[in-house]
């Protein structure tokens, strides 16, 4: 859970915030936890307004810890008790001055203005739903319009008491039924609005247990709508949502094999005697865990194997008739006798992802400790040795939370398969230029299009290595810049004969008189050394020429992860500007009246890339 900058000693303290969470430990140690977490470097700042329908002091305190543990440093605005509507409706100047990036609306069933009366007709209940929705929609729309912030909104938990007992769920005037209808309306709104995310407290309350979720003593004494136990669950969940918004969710699951994906030792027992399949209680649990892993892979999590085994033996395990996972599901496969930390480092290098993007699952506690000690950036959940609990532990830690699922996420494995083909093809050429020519690359480069805004925002918030400024923007800010004529915006998609790499590069800057000030230039490392940066530059220069821009000013802000692009502007012919600055370099390029394109191996088009050899390989993945 700790960010990549956490030291080993900090990681030890931070275990308090990892599963299995002990409430008393968090309550006791919250001060020391905060101090340790604030020692991390490279924290991502964010401003969060908590608009509460109940007391939110504890929510803020716990949320701060879980966000810091994700490498996010929040500054908070807190509404007064139950002032969540008024603060927005009457434009509280403190809130407006605060300019939140995120507004978290912490409402619960207590904030439903009126539940249906007994025997109300279906029409009357429907009117009540509309009225309740109208109240909330006005709130959300004003936040989006005036504050431009992303909204995280609780749906509703169930009321403490059921006046009609079980009928509460089936009668339209029943309170349980009413909550479910409102939640369906909230969900529908979330599907239609990109900067609106639901914090599913109905699920959380079921997970925690209704009795433990709400406690009379905390409500009547402090107007806390949640017990301390529930507050921990809630804030952990909200932190996971924020983490996904900032592109900090994990990308890759590295798995051991023996007694992790199947029971037994493949090298000793052979495929035939592995415990795997529905005819054995433990074997069935292994099948279920494999199915869970397979589903993670289907929604974009990269899989890798790290096992102490002979490679051939290890691979044979996947030929077991009950194995849900197949060899081709894995994007990296390390089965050898080397230390696991060494193998995991190699997996990260091979996949071009950071170690802090990896979750490692192994039934062997000694291996877990070794990886944890030597690679503190890698998340190592304490899964125990009982396979039936592995998936629950992973779920509980919310490693792979997503704020949306886009087509690019679904095709990640296909991308890696085609990338392997590219690598194999590269080996056949002695000359790199010949290899690039053989790829038959086509780039679609153009101004930001509404259809791509989600992917562009995702790329902006995920890319670390080929990123000149590492500036992060919300989808609202990206949308605003796309519509502002003062900005030049460019996206780039790249396809080749092996498939579509998807939208892989983003560039934007603001035109001030005859100068373009570049604000962002980033590219997925998957297409490094493919001349895509040249293709983007060619398109940029043409755009500048068309707008009468005579000078391009580029900024390089060094970070821990972007040394890869330290020489980027120099390589394109930019000249350094001014004296040295501690935190940034400025580079200048005079736009020539005539310009020779830099790229020689990419055909450029402004048209959508429709013809793709492997249509399923829609694209890429996690950015490094």
Partner 1 sequence: MTNNEFLLQMDEILDLPAGTLRGHERLEELQNWDSTSLITFIALAETNNGVPVSPDQIVTCSTVADLLQLAQVGS
In the complex, the residues that contact partner 1 under the rule CB under 8 A are 23-24, 27-32, 57-58, 61, 217-218, 221-222, 224, 228
In the complex, the smallest distance separating the C-beta of residue 26 from partner 1, rounded to whole angstroms, is 10
- Give whichever of 61 and 259 is closer to partner 1, judged by the CB atom: 61
Distance CA 343, CA 595 (A): 46
Q: Which residues pair with 555 in a beta bridge?
A: 586
Distance CA 218, CA 112 (A): 19
Provide DSSP, 48-62. EEEEESS--HHHHHH
Q: Contacts for 574-582 with beta carbons within 8 Å, 24 or more apart?
A: 577/553
Distance CA 62, CA 232 (A): 6
In the complex, the smallest distance separating the C-beta of residue 217 from partner 1, rounded to whole angstroms, is 7
- Give whichever of 31 and 191 is closer to partner 1, judged by the CB atom: 31
- Give whichever of 59 and 532 is closer to partner 1, judged by the CB atom: 59
Residue with tokens 């006791």: 28
In the complex, the smallest distance separating the C-beta of residue 55 from partner 1, rounded to whole angstroms, is 9
- Give whichever of 217 and 431 is closer to partner 1, judged by the CB atom: 217
- Please give the structure tokens belonging to residue 441: 């690359």
Burial 468-484 (b: 16+ CB within 10 A, else e): bbbebbbbbbbbebbee
In terms of C-beta density within 10 A (0-12 exposed, 13-18 middle, 19 or more buried), how is residue 466 classed?
A: buried
In the complex, the smallest distance separating the C-beta of residue 54 from partner 1, rounded to whole angstroms, is 13
Cα-based distances in Å from 155 to 41, 91, 204, 214: 34, 24, 11, 15
In the complex, the smallest distance separating the C-beta of residue 206 from partner 1, rounded to whole angstroms, is 22
- Give whichever of 78 and 403 is closer to partner 1, judged by the CB atom: 78
- Please give the structure tokens belonging to residue 160: 């403490």
In the complex, the smallest distance separating the C-beta of residue 105 from partner 1, rounded to whole angstroms, is 22
Residue with tokens 């054995």: 280
What letter does residue 582 receive in the DSSP assignment? S
- Give whichever of 218 and 390 is closer to partner 1, judged by the CB atom: 218
Cα-based distances in Å from 582 to 301, 437, 561, 577, 579: 37, 41, 17, 14, 10
- Give whichever of 58 and 444 is closer to partner 1, judged by the CB atom: 58
Give residues with Cβ within 8 angstroms of 436, minimum separation 6. 530, 531, 600, 601
Dihedral sign computed on CA atoms, order 315, 319, 322, 324: positive
In the complex, the smallest distance separating the C-beta of residue 251 from partner 1, rounded to whole angstroms, is 36
- Give whichever of 127 and 221 is closer to partner 1, judged by the CB atom: 221
- Give whichever of 23 and 420 is closer to partner 1, judged by the CB atom: 23
- Give whichever of 180 and 212 is closer to partner 1, judged by the CB atom: 212
In the complex, the smallest distance separating the C-beta of residue 27 from partner 1, rounded to whole angstroms, is 5
- Please give the structure tokens belonging to residue 504: 């892989």
Q: Which residues pair with 589 in a beta bridge?
A: 552
- Give whichever of 160 and 345 is closer to partner 1, judged by the CB atom: 160
In terms of C-beta density within 10 A (0-12 exposed, 13-18 middle, 19 or more buried), how is residue 259 classed?
A: middle
- Please give the structure tokens belonging to residue 149: 């912030």
In the complex, the smallest distance separating the C-beta of residue 154 from partner 1, rounded to whole angstroms, is 20
In the complex, the smallest distance separating the C-beta of residue 9 from partner 1, rounded to whole angstroms, is 17
Residues in the chain: 624
Cβ count within 10 A of residue 135: 14
In the complex, the smallest distance separating the C-beta of residue 120 from partner 1, rounded to whole angstroms, is 38
In the complex, the smallest distance separating the C-beta of residue 31 from partner 1, rounded to whole angstroms, is 4
- Give whichever of 148 and 228 is closer to partner 1, judged by the CB atom: 228
Dihedral sign computed on CA atoms, order 177, 183, 187, 189: positive
In the complex, the smallest distance separating the C-beta of residue 222 from partner 1, rounded to whole angstroms, is 7
Residue 494 · residue 476 · CB < 8 Å = no
In the complex, the smallest distance separating the C-beta of residue 230 from partner 1, rounded to whole angstroms, is 11
Cα-based distances in Å from 257 to 262, 307, 314, 345, 533: 7, 6, 8, 18, 40
Give residues with Cβ within 8 angstroms of 217, minimum separation 6. none
Cα-based distances in Å from 119 to 124, 167, 311, 337, 410: 10, 12, 68, 70, 47
DSSP helix/strand/coil, 370: helix
- Give whichever of 58 and 171 is closer to partner 1, judged by the CB atom: 58
- Give whichever of 36 and 372 is closer to partner 1, judged by the CB atom: 36
Give residues with Cβ within 8 angstroms of 56, minimum separation 6. 50, 78, 79, 106
């Amino acid at each position: 859970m700790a960010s990549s900058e956490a030291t080993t000693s900090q990681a030890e303290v931070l275990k308090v915030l990892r599963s299995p969470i002990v409430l008393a430990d968090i309550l006791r140690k919250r001060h020391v936890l905060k101090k340790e977490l604030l020692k991390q470097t490279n924290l991502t700042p964010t401003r969060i307004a908590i608009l509460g329908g109940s007391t939110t002091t504890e929510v803020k305190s716990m949320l701060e810890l879980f966000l810091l543990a994700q490498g996010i440093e929040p500054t908070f605005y807190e509404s007064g008790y139950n002032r969540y509507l008024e603060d927005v409706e009457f434009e509280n100047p403190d809130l407006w001055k605060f300019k939140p990036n995120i507004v978290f609306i912490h409402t619960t069933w207590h904030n439903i203005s009126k539940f249906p009366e007994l025997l109300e007709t279906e029409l009357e209940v429907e009117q009540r739903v509309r009225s309740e929705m109208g109240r909330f929609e006005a709130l959300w729309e004003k936040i989006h319009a005036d504050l431009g912030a992303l909204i995280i909104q609780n749906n509703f938990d169930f009321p403490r008491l059921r006046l009609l007992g079980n009928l509460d769920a089936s009668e339209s005037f029943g309170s349980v039924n009413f909550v479910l209808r409102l939640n369906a309306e909230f969900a529908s709104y979330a599907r239609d609005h990109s900067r609106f995310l639901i914090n599913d407290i109905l699920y959380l309350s079921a997970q925690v247990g209704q009795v433990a979720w709400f406690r009379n003593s905390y409500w009547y004494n402090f107007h806390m709508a949640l017990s301390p136990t529930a507050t921990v669950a809630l804030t952990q969940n909200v932190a996971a949502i924020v983490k996904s918004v900032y592109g900090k969710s994990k990308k890759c699951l590295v798995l051991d094999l023996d007694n992790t994906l199947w029971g037994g030792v493949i090298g000793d027992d052979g495929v035939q005697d592995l415990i795997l399949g529905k005819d054995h209680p433990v074997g069935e649990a292994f099948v279920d865990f494999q199915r869970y892993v397979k589903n993670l892979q289907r929604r974009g999590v990269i899989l890798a194997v790290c096992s102490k085994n002979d490679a051939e033996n290890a691979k044979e395990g996947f030929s077991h008739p009950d194995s849900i996972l197949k060899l081709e599901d894995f994007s990296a496969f390390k089965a050898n006798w080397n230390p696991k930390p060494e193998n995991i480092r190699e997996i990260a290098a091979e996949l071009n992802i950071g170690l802090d993007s990896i979750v490692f699952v192994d039934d062997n506690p000694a291996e877990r400790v070794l990886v944890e000690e030597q690679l503190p950036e890698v998340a190592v959940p304490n899964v125990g040795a009982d396979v039936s609990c592995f998936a629950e532990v992973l779920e509980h830690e919310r490693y792979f939370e997503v704020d949306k699922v886009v087509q690019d996420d679904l095709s990640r494995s296909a991308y890696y398969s085609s990338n392997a083909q590219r690598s194999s093809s590269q080996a056949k050429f002695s000359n790199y230029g010949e290899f690039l020519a053989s790829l038959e690359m086509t780039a679609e480069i153009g101004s930001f299009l509404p259809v791509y805004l989600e992917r562009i925002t995702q790329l902006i918030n995920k890319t670390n290595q080929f990123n000149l400024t590492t500036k992060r923007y919300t989808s609202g800010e990206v949308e605003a810049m796309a519509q502002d004529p003062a900005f030049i915006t460019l996206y780039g998609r790249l396809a080749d004969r092996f498939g579509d790499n998807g939208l892989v590069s983003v560039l934007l800057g603001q035109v001030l008189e005859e100068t373009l000030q570049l604000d962002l230039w980033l590219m997925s490392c998957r297409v490094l050394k493919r001349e895509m940066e040249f293709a983007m530059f060619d398109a940029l220069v043409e755009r500048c020429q068309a707008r009468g821009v005579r000078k391009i000013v580029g900024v390089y802000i060094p970070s821990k992860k972007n040394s890869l692009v330290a020489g980027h502007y120099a390589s394109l012919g930019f000249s350094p500007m001014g004296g040295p600055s501690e935190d940034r370099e400025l580079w200048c390029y005079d736009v020539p009246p005539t310009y020779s394109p830099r790229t020689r191996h990419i055909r450029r088009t402004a048209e959508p890339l429709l013809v793709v050899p492997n249509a399923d390989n829609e694209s890429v993945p996690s950015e490094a």
